[in-house]
Homo-oligomer: A and B are copies of this chain.
């Protein structure tokens, strides 16, 4: 392949200066119609692909893209409807600002390279629900780019966007307990960034690294305390698929005494609970009450419809993008509301 075409080539062919040719692309109204026509004609003849965005970005000092660093692996994130809705919100806000969205690959145990984070061409980064102490967070901080932390503890100098996880969890647990349930099972997706699966003991609970799980559990526990219930079983499913939820539900429902209610930390898990209940021939909500968290679109479509905690995932994404595009990190975390949605499953 021959040398790449540059603006210089176009300018020479059109018989104008390089700066004039540049203006044709960046400020077309600034140049005369005649000059514009000459340059565009020369560009078309040479099949010039337009000014190189990398060079333009370097000169302008602006990349034109927002980076998003997602919960552990991207594959996991795309399998999680809540994460996808969040991304949808970012994308919509970015589209309005004519800004592209760059998904940064998160380093994994298999592939611990941070090069993609270090080399990504972005003007800012949205970090979504990373566990405590994840090395990717450090790598982002070193870039010293504007950053918005979402569903994570605040850090100095960065904007933080949260939802009221504790309050929402409290509300849904209190709702279940108000219906008289004393034998409640809790179902979590993941408490820490490993593959642990099974009933969580005190030691495990002391080592939770996923902030969202920690906050939601705190809300459940407050409601339980207020109802005089000291300890309930908590099953950790090691994942957030419907199947993970079904697996966890089977374990919880095998306990003696059998729980009469299962409160799940996500709607995905709660959907699995409904599946397991159907398998076992348990009537919901007659023999088993089920509640989730997130109010995914699916939650209204299950049989029976799922009691859950509403949060506006798309709005959260849009707000995250807005915080980044506006610059000026607010000193205090922005906290979006949650709201109990009682449906047929409780």
Contacts and interface: CB of A to CB of B under 8 A. Distances in A.
Copies per complex of this chain? 2
A325 to B, nearest CB: 13
A303 B302 CA distance: 11
A63 B54 contact: yes
Interface in A108-123: 108, 111, 113, 115-116, 118-121
Contact of A50 (B55, B79, B84, B142): B142
Interface string A23-51: 00000000000000000000000010110
A203 B275 CA distance: 46
B98 A105 contact: yes
A56 interface: yes
Contact of A54 (B58, B94, B108): B58
Which of the four size classes fits the interface of chain A? 35 or more
B144 A47 contact: yes
A91 interface: yes
Contact of A65 (B50, B106, B121): B121
B92 A88 contact: no
A303 B278 CA distance: 12
Given A78-B84, A144-B49, A120 B98 contact: no
A322 to B, nearest CB: 16
Contacts of A55: 58
A121 B121 CA distance: 7
Contacts of A116: 64, 95, 98-100
A104 to B, nearest CB: 5
Contact of A242 (B118, B120, B301): B301
B119 A91 contact: no
Nearest to A103: B101
Interface in A43-96: 47, 49-50, 52-58, 63-65, 67, 73-75, 78-79, 84-85, 87-88, 91-92, 94-96
A102 B63 CA distance: 12
A143 interface: yes
Nearest to A275: B301
A273 B98 CA distance: 37
A277 to B, nearest CB: 14
Given A49-B144, A91-B105, A95-B105, A100 B120 contact: yes
Given A58-B55, A105-B94, A74 B88 contact: yes
A50 B116 CA distance: 13
Contacts of A49: 142-145
A119 B303 CA distance: 47
A85 B77 CA distance: 11
A268 to B, nearest CB: 11
A102 B100 contact: yes
30 contacts: A50-B142, A54-B57, A54-B63, A55-B58, A56-B119, A57-B119, A58-B58, A63-B121, A64-B116, A64-B119, A65-B102, A65-B121, A67-B100, A73-B92, A74-B88, A74-B101, A78-B84, A78-B85, A78-B87, A78-B88, A91-B103, A91-B105, A98-B105, A98-B116, A99-B116, A100-B116, A101-B102, A102-B102, A121-B121, A303-B303
In the A-B complex, the 7 residue pairs with the closest CB atoms:
A78-B88, A74-B91, A95-B105, A49-B144, A101-B103, A121-B121, A102-B102
